[in-house]
Structure 1
Amino acid sequence: MSHYSDLISQLYWQLPVNLTALAQTITDPNVLGQIQKFWSHFIQTGQVWALLIGLVIGYMIRNLTSYG
């Protein structure tokens, strides 16, 4: 396993610098505003109900299919 990780690390460090992501362009730095906009859209479109129903059904299926 050590040989494999050594090979991967050698291949990674031989990549040209322009292929690695060094920085990102931030177009809207208002992170809290983005979270608030996402949450209000999530509530208005009814996706929160789909999430809750999916969690309940998934929990029930997990309990029905678990052994012991």
Structure 2
Amino acid sequence: MSKEWHADLRLKLDDLVDKFVVDGAEHKDVIEALRKEIEHLSKAYEHDPDPAEDDTVIDEPAAT
């Protein structure tokens, strides 16, 4: 993947923030919420970098 992903990420984040600001949220509140969610994702990644590789089988009944 080229370095263009960083610019694409920034544009998507700008669009995301703008969407919530247009809907009435305060810019600083949206940025703070994003910061907290990114911190949460970072901690989850540290705990389990690739959860798709887990061998855990979830034994749930199939939906009918």
* TM-score, normalised with respect to structure 1: 0.34
Q: Which has the higher contact order (CA 8 A, sep 6+)?
A: 2
TM-score for both structures, normalised by structure 2: 0.35
